[in-house]
Chains A and B, each alone.
Chain A
Amino acid sequence: MKTFAESNFPGRLIAVEGLDGSGKSTQIYLLKRWLEAEGIKVYFSEWNSSELVKSATSKGKKRELLTPTTFSLIHATDFADRYERHLVPLLRAGYVVLCDRYIFTAFARDVTRGCPPDWVRGNYSFACAPDLTMFFKADLEVSLNRILEGRPKLKFFEAGMDLRLSTNPYESFKIFQGRILEQYMAMSQEFNFVTMDANENVEKQQVLVRKLVSERIELKKFKRRSPLPLPPSLRDEREDKEKEEDKAA
């Protein structure tokens, strides 16, 4: 699997992976704030797939219609939509794109559900690999506590209830997350994850994140240039408008 850099995209993609409650979202948010302050063309890709795909996915989840295979495929559809409509254009335009979760989330989750690893990977093979993947590894107990502290209402698929691991959603969630963590660990080398110690405090982690990013990605190449001058036609229009406004005043 080639990275975006190896595939000659002008942009770069940085992904964070890890269990829910590993603190990865906080870290990528702080990374984004720093890159923005540095004047980097950065984009934080939120999950905004098109309405159609979203509607099918939520219907499947609500009505518990999904099997491991259709769960995998509908999420691959969702990812493809986001990839083709959103990530590729940004990366073509030379952005540093930050992704909270990428294809490895699907690999870990779908394989845990029993899908063959090669099949899942093959389906996602249209996507380039991130130029940097940080894997936030917290102790399973720590992640579980962060999520389960508030006794949230766990959704059926989120808790892995479809795997019939336990009739108790919390128990099921724990076993499910444990298995996902195993899958992440097994992929770590193959996909060059940089493992981050997510048990460490937030500031210390962020120092490491920023250091790593500046080592791996030649950030000055991605600086926003000063705003482009307007083309003459628009410039004239604007000047005319300003004159008119002056007159009116």
Chain B
Amino acid sequence: MKKSHQFYGSGIPRVKAEDLGGKLIVIEGADGSGRSTQIAELVNWLETSGLPTVQVGLKRSTLVSEELEKAQEGNVLSRTTLSLFYATDFADQLENIILPALKAGFIVLSDRYIYTLMARDMVRGMDEAWLKNLYGIAPVPDAVFYLSVEPEELVQRNLSKNATLDYWESGMDLGLSRDMFDSFLQYQASMQDVFKTLQKTYGFDIVDANRSVNSVTKELRKKIAALIEEQ
């Protein structure tokens, strides 16, 4: 595969973007948009085709995932602190998993990426320029698929899966409404607005994920196959 990566900003000390091969594929979308289902499908398909894959996602680092989980449970950290904590989690996986895998020519499937982290903070009023600098360490992915699902449909999917709505995915910390159902709808709608703004800068591929799992899988496979055949 050809080596063609670059970083969004300053990158990582002593890592040359030219040394990064492989493919970095990001699946973005809210909880209930079908990200993990689609990633499982893709891994299965890619590995069966003989292509090595690695998976990463938010809050999975060795360094801080445990503490980050606890911080969220108690909602004890202030905004900037939580944001930097998430950035630490991302950076740890970036350096220990994503970059080595790309150097080795693997296909990295990322369950969410810096865009979710940026969008969450932007909805909470944080400065976009600050976030862009912070995440200048991230390599530009080869493809970003945003699984778009209407908030009303997300509610249904989340409730049928967990019978409850997640505190953070409902944006309860924002105090939009004491009613979790209302808060969820409002929060997810603002997240989608931010994603639309980010789409203009980062050029995501917006995939209509209101459809069945199968039709979304088909579309993703087709696009990724084209990407892999490019070289």
Contact = CB atoms under 8 A, between A and B. Distances in A.
Interface of A: 50, 52-53, 55-56, 59-60, 65-70, 73-74, 76-77, 80-81, 83-85, 113-116, 118-119, 122-123, 125-126
21 contacts: A52-B77, A53-B85, A56-B88, A65-B62, A67-B12, A69-B91, A69-B95, A77-B81, A77-B84, A77-B87, A80-B80, A80-B81, A81-B78, A81-B81, A84-B80, A84-B81, A85-B81, A116-B13, A119-B136, A125-B130, A126-B80
A47 B79 CA distance: 19
B44 interface: no
Nearest to B79: A84
A74 B130 CA distance: 17
A60 B63 contact: yes
- Most chain A CB atoms below 10 A, which of B83, B92, B136: B92
Interface residues of B, number: 32
A118 B88 contact: no
4 nearest interchain CB pairs? A122-B133, A84-B78, A114-B13, A77-B84
A50 B85 CA distance: 12
B70 interface: yes
Contact of B133 (A52, A73, A113, A123): A123
Interface in B156-176: none
B85 A85 contact: no
For the residues of B in contact with A, the DSSP-based class is helix
Contacts of B70: 52
Interface of B: 9-10, 12-14, 62-64, 66-67, 70-71, 76-81, 83-85, 87-88, 91-92, 94-95, 130, 133-134, 136-137
A85 B82 CA distance: 12
B95 A67 contact: yes
Contact of B12 (A55, A59, A69, A74): A69
Contacts of B67: 52-53, 55-56
A52 to B, nearest CB: 5
B84 A119 contact: no
B9 to A, nearest CB: 7
Nearest to A52: B67
B137 A52 contact: no
